[in-house]
A and B are shown apart, each in its own frame.
Chain A
Amino acid sequence: MKSGIAEVLEVHEKGRRDTLIPILQEIQEKEGYLSEEAVVEVGKHLDIPSSRIYGVATFYNQFRFQPTGRYHIQVCRGTACHVLGSATVLEHLEKLLHIKAGQTTRDGLFSMEIVACIGACGLAPVINVNGEFHAQVDAEKVAAIMEEYRKREETL
């Protein structure tokens, strides 16, 4: 089976450096994240050093470099959520899980991402875990929610 990386590269002309961002987006779409292999292969395809690709990719918030966890948390940092304290929510989640946005916990259970308004402003501040929305969260609530997912995992 061809890897997602190869499939993406196949349809993009070699050496066309202006296609870097779309290529990275498509690979992330397919693979869920940008692996070291992906960066190296894209580099070969477009003749760009991997340090440059990594630099460009980290410039944008949209790319991740670790596979997503079993529970992928989207923390909304849109305006409504911001006004109602999403910064504190994010900070607590980071402390609780010992990861930053864009990263995945060592056990592979949780990963986190910052997103712009997810259209649930009425519920602000809101987080979305694998499609389940949690409304009006605060520090305490997110702790309970994470605990909940952990338990769910143990009983599986």
Chain B
Amino acid sequence: MDCTIEVNNKKIEAAKGELLIDVLSRNGIRVPTLCHMKNYLPSGSCRMCVVENLTSGRLITSCSYPVEEGMRIQTHSPRVVESRKTIVELLLSNHPDDCLYCVRNGKCTLQDFASEHNVVERRISGKKNDHHKDLSSASIVRDPDKCILCGRCVRVCEEVMNVSAIDYINRGSRSVIGTAFNKGLNISSCVNCGQCILVCPTGALSEKTHIPEVQMALNDKEKMVIVQYAPAVTVSIAEEFGLEPGADLNGLLNAALRKMGFDRVYDTSFSADLTIMEESAELIHRIQNNGVLPMITSCCPAWIKYAEEFAHDMLPNLSTCKSPQQMLGAVIKSHISEMEQKDPHQIYSVSIMPCVAKKFEAQRENMTHRGITDVDAVLSTRELVRMIRLYGIEIDKLEPETADSPLGVRSSAGKLFGNTGGVMEAAIRTAYYKLTGKDLVNFRIPEIRGFKGRKETRIRIGDLELGVAVVSGLRNAHLLLEEIRNGRNDIHFIEVMSCPGGCVAGGGQRVGCGESDILARMKTLYTIDDQETIKMSHKNPEIIELYREFLGEPLGHKSHELLHTSYIKRDVML
């Protein structure tokens, strides 16, 4: 701290060149922001964050202004407050005003700011926005009428995802956010990650909801409705019900889902174990048979679409394993339907995911087998919470229940799938066993844990030294792939997750999570791993049973038919 500034008549220490907003927030002064994004270069476009610089007599944007020695600042002077209020009123002047019908009602930054600034009458009225909603995507709904042009979506899409499906189009009062030629998102390069939804301050971006379909199925007496939930989901909903962020509500969730009327409740962590059985077998097969390396994980559908668009040269490197969602779906519509003596068409298979790309994945052509879809509807964590409320369930008052068997037992390795690095860790544990016949004593692999966007390590398995890399955020994936294209050959296995931090920070999760919420979720998954006894996928008794009863062996005939898939080159407007 090498300089002193005065904020609201009080001296404050700061470091020269530091952004004013960071100094303010460190000192407990909250300034409203719209375009500002932590850890990004400032854009300074919305002017919501203005403060008064008494030294120069000017209003300055605190998100982009570096501190200067001796500067004197007022953060909530009448002039500042009035200016912020005007900005909100201008944003509202062309807004559709249908908050009551908006998916973000009650969770909208624009609403919050209007209320904080006491906007209670319309002082500025303008022509209402009148754009088409873009309903073309399987995952994302765009409602440009509600867009306030903060640009945050454009920035994540470009800077984190390296996709740039969307950008500012036109100029001045006709500006909108859109795709090339204003086409539907479905034919753009959008990979459906949903990270743009998470940063959108309004209802302009949301998931394509499947709640009505699921309700219909639940009301249909003829249908057997089966649900699965992803590993990250159980640790991501507590805060919605006033419980501690990151707390694991697994048992309560099982109970809640049964209360809603789901006939069978399964844990996708089970099929995460199944994925590990297949994927580790595939890795070993590639290594022992001079197959294409590095092998790259295939559980993240946003990454898959990205590779199909931007990395055609790497398609042979992708594991052919379906994702856990699709594997469980396939087992439900085959093995379970047999066991339950139901026609697969009578089964309605729902999955609950921290993800919106999974909605796209579920409707991929090759996820339908002889006219039977693996998964019929996909709900995001956000939709799950809405449904729990809709059914009037007070989740914290329920008694915990266990998931249904036979697909209900999981290893803690499968549960780790929710964290970046989790798939890798689980796969290494099982590959180690398969190659050496022994279990890893140190089951934790700390080098590939944690939030970082790129992690690498080397693991000794017998006389094999395995180079592994874990990336999250597709820009990080791109950078790693570039190294490999340029000749790097010391890596055998790569895990890619599109969402920075992995599915715990997925595009289907609660909007407005802070870093601390995400870290809490991660921590819980590692704690579960520490505490539970079955820590390896190959030790999961129901997995062993499923292979004995139904599948045969990993990479066997049935597996190929049900659990593996193929990829295509996608020709979109890049």
Could you list which residues of chain A lie within 8 angstroms of chain B, going by C-beta atoms?
Answer: 36, 39-40, 43-44, 49-55, 58-60, 65
Query: In the complex, A52 Cα to B166 Cα: how many Å?
Result: 8
Q: Is the CB of B171 within 8 A of A49?
A: no
**B190: nearest residue on chain A (CB-CB)?**
A51
Which 7 A-B pairs have CB atoms at the shortest separation, nearest pair first?
Answer: A49-B164, A50-B180, A55-B167, A51-B167, A54-B180, A50-B573, A51-B180
A40, A51, A58, A59: the one contacting B165 at CB < 8 Å is A51
Q: Does any Cβ of A come within 8 Å of B168's Cβ?
A: yes
How would residues 165 to 190 of chain B score, 1 for a CB under 8 Å from any chain A CB and 0 otherwise?
11111110000001111100000110
Q: Does any Cβ of A come within 8 Å of B311's Cβ?
A: no
* Total residues of chain B contacting the partner, CB 8 A: 19
Q: Does any Cβ of A come within 8 Å of B398's Cβ?
A: no
User: Across the interface, which residues of B come within 8 angstroms of A53, CB to CB?
Assistant: 180
User: Across the interface, which residues of B come within 8 angstroms of A54, CB to CB?
Assistant: 167, 169, 178-182
User: Across the interface, which residues of B come within 8 angstroms of A44, CB to CB?
Assistant: 574
Q: Is the CB of B167 within 8 A of A49?
A: yes
Q: Is the CB of A51 within 8 A of B170?
A: no
Q: Is the CB of B171 within 8 A of A58?
A: yes
Query: In the complex, A39 Cα to B182 Cα: how many Å?
Result: 13
User: Across the interface, which residues of A come within 8 angstroms of B178, CB to CB?
Assistant: 51, 54
**B189: nearest residue on chain A (CB-CB)?**
A49
Closest Cβ of chain B to A29, distance in Å, is 20
Q: Is the CB of B573 within 8 A of A55?
A: no
Interface residues of chain A: helix, strand, loop or mixed (majority) = helix
Q: Is the CB of B167 within 8 A of A36?
A: no
Q: Is the CB of B164 within 8 A of A51?
A: yes
Query: In the complex, A39 Cα to B180 Cα: how many Å?
Result: 9
Q: Is the CB of B181 within 8 A of A55?
A: no
User: Across the interface, which residues of A come within 8 angstroms of B573, CB to CB?
Assistant: 36, 39-40, 50-51
Within 8 A of A (CB), among B318-357: none
Most-contacted residue by chain B among A36, A43, A49, A53 (CB, 10 A): A49
**B172: nearest residue on chain A (CB-CB)?**
A59
User: Across the interface, which residues of B come within 8 angstroms of A43, CB to CB?
Assistant: 574
Query: In the complex, A119 Cα to B488 Cα: how many Å?
Result: 63
Query: In the complex, A69 Cα to B180 Cα: how many Å?
Result: 22
Within 8 A of A (CB), among B29-67: none
Query: In the complex, A44 Cα to B571 Cα: how many Å?
Result: 13
Query: In the complex, A94 Cα to B188 Cα: how many Å?
Result: 29
Q: Is the CB of A55 within 8 A of B168?
A: yes
**B171: nearest residue on chain A (CB-CB)?**
A59
User: Across the interface, which residues of A come within 8 angstroms of B165, CB to CB?
Assistant: 49, 51
User: Across the interface, which residues of B come within 8 angstroms of A60, CB to CB?
Assistant: 171
Query: In the complex, A40 Cα to B571 Cα: how many Å?
Result: 11
Q: Is the CB of B181 within 8 A of A52?
A: no
Closest Cβ of chain B to A2, distance in Å, is 22
**B164: nearest residue on chain A (CB-CB)?**
A49
User: Across the interface, which residues of B come within 8 angstroms of A59, CB to CB?
Assistant: 168, 170-171
Known interface pairs A49-B180, A55-B167; 11 further A-B residue pairs with C-beta atoms within 8 A, sorted by A's residue number: A39-B181, A49-B574, A51-B167, A51-B180, A51-B189, A51-B573, A54-B167, A54-B182, A58-B170, A59-B170, A59-B171
User: Across the interface, which residues of B come within 8 angstroms of A55, CB to CB?
Assistant: 167-169
Q: Is the CB of A65 within 8 A of B167?
A: no
Closest Cβ of chain B to A113, distance in Å, is 16
